C-alpha cells in the first residue's frame, strides 16, 4: 500500500476511468437537481453515465425522458438500464428500439426486482424475458449494442451460493455482456475475493466496482441488507453520532469513499462506477482526489449522436 495515499499525480500511471449512475427524477425539483448534477460531473469526462429503470408506464417514461435530456443537453454517452419486470418481450424490445432511436448504444441489462418489492419471489411476466441473461441475448439480437450487467461481490440475496451466482454471470457474458458493474460494497477484500472466483470460472470481462458514496448513513444502513451488501461495524463507527451533523457527515463520507477507491487502485482497479444518488459533490470530490479533473480526456466511448 502506498505511503502517501493521496499523492497520485494526474497523468502518472494508468489512466483511471469513471462512470456515473443517476435515477430518473420524479418531479420538477428533482429534474433540476439531476441537470445540475450532470452539469457538474460531465466535465470529468466519464466513460459513460447510466440511468436506472423502473417497471410501469410512468417510470419507464421518466427513464426515457432523462436519457433523452442527458444526450441532447450534455452530449454524454448514456447507458440505459432495462429490466424484465412486468413486460412482454415485445414491449421490452420496443423500449430498446426507442432508446436506440434517441442515440443509446449501451444498455445495462437487469432482471429487476419483483413488482411486489425486494424479497418477494420473482415471477417472469408470461411472454417476458426471464432473467438478466435472457435479456442480454434479447438486446444483442436487436442491434450491435454494448451490454453491461450486474455482479454481486457478496452474492445476490436470492443465490443459494457463489457457484450459482457466478454461473448466472457466466450465462450473461456468454450471451454477449461485455462488462459487469457490481452492487455496492464496503469491504474491498470481498470484492477482490469475488473477482478471483469469477476469473477462476473463466469469466474475463471487466468487473467494475460500484462505489456508493454515503450521503446518508442511516438510509444506506436501511437498504444495504435488502441489496445484499454488508455494512461493517467499522463503517457504522465512523458515522456514529453524525445523523444531525450534516457537515461532518459529508466530510467523513468523502474520506470513506476516497479511502475505498484509493485502496482499490492500490489493488490494481482502474475503472469505477459511482452510484451518485443524483448528488454530485462526493463523487466529484473523490474524482478530484484521484486526479480526474475538468475536461478529462479519458472518456473513451464514442459520443452519442
Report the C-alpha gap between 25 and 35 in whole angstroms.
Answer: 10
Task: Select the residue interacting with ligand FAD from 20, 22, 48, 53 (CB under 6 A).
Answer: 53
Burial of 211 (C-beta count, 10 Å sphere; 0-12/13-18/19+): buried
Report the C-alpha gap between 134 and 152 in whole angstroms.
Answer: 18
CB-facing half-sphere around the CA of 43: CA atoms within 13 A: 9
The helix, strand and coil proportions of the chain, stated in percent and rounded to the nearest 5, come to 45, 15, 45
110 binds ligand FAD (CB under 6 A): yes
In contact, 75 and 133? CB cutoff 8 Å: no
Report the C-alpha gap between 118 and 293 in whole angstroms.
Answer: 37
* Closer Cβ to ligand FAD, 75 or 123, answer by number: 123
45 binds ligand FAD (CB under 6 A): no
The contact mask relative to ligand FAD for 67-96 (x = CB under 6 A, - = no) is --------------x-x-------------
| Residue of 9, 21, 91, 98 with catalytic role | 21
16 binds ligand FAD (CB under 6 A): no
Number of residues forming the site for ligand FAD (CB under 6 A): 22
Task: Select the residue interacting with ligand FAD from 132, 138, 213, 280 (CB under 6 A).
Answer: 132
Contacting ligand FAD within 191-250 (CB under 6 A): 210
3-class secondary-structure state, position 254: helix
Report the C-alpha gap between 35 and 39 in whole angstroms.
Answer: 6
Our answer to whether residue 21 is catalytic in this structure is yes
Contacting ligand FAD within 172-191 (CB under 6 A): 181, 183
Give the binding range for ligand FAD (CB under 6 A) out of 3-11, 92-100, 160-168, 218-226.
Answer: 160-168
So which residues are the catalytic ones? 21
* Residues of this chain that bind ligand FAD (CB under 6 A): 52-54, 81, 83, 108, 110-113, 131-132, 150, 156, 158-159, 164-165, 168, 181, 183, 210
Amino acid at each position: 500500500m502506498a505511503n502517501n495515499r493521496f499523492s497520485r499525480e494526474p497523468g502518472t500511471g494508468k489512466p483511471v476511468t469513471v462512470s456515473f449512475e443517476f435515477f430518473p427524477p420524479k418531479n420538477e425539483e428533482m429534474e433540476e437537481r439531476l441537470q445540475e448534477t450532470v452539469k457538474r460531473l460531465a466535465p470529468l469526462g466519464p466513460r459513460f453515465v447510466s440511468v436506472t429503470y423502473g417497471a410501469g408506464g410512468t417510470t419507464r417514461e421518466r427513464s426515457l425522458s432523462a436519457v433523452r435530456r442527458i444526450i441532447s443537453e450534455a452530449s454524454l454517452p448514456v447507458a440505459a438500464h432495462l429490466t424484465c419486470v412486468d413486460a412482454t418481450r415485445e414491449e421490452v424490445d420496443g423500449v430498446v428500439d426507442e432508446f436506440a432511436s434517441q442515440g443509446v448504444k449501451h444498455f445495462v441489462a437487469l432482471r429487476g426486482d419483483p413488482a411486489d418489492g425486494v424479497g418477494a419471489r420473482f415471477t417472469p411476466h408470461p411472454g417476458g424475458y426471464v432473467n438478466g441473461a435472457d435479456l442480454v441475448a434479447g438486446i444483442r439480437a436487436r442491434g450491435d449494442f454494448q451490454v453491461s450487467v450486474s455482479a454481486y461481490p457478496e452474492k445476490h440475496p436470492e443465490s443459494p451460493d457463489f457457484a450459482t451466482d457466478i454461473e448466472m454471470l457466466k450465462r450473461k457474458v456468454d450471451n454477449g455482456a461485455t462488462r459487469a458493474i457490481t452492487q455496492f460494497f464496503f469491504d474491498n477484500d470481498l470484492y477482490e475475493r469475488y473477482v478471483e472466483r469469477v476469473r477462476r470460472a473463466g469469466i474475463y470481462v471487466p468487473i467494475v466496482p460500484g462505489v456508493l458514496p454515503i450521503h446518508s448513513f442511516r438510509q444506506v444502513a436501511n437498504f444495504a441488507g435488502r441489496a445484499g451488501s454488508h455494512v461493517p461495524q467499522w463503517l457504522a463507527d465512523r458515522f456514529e453520532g453524525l445523523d444531525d451533523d450534516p457537515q461532518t457527515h459529508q466530510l467523513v463520507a468523502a474520506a470513506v469513499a476516497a479511502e475505498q477507491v484509493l485502496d482499490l487502485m492500490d489493488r490494481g482497479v482502474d475503472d469505477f462506477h459511482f452510484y451518485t444518488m443524483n448528488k454530485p459533490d462526493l463523487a466529484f470530490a473523490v474524482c478530484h482526489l484521484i486526479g480526474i479533473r475538468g475536461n478529462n480526456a479519458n472518456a473513451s466511448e464514442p459520443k452519442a449522436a
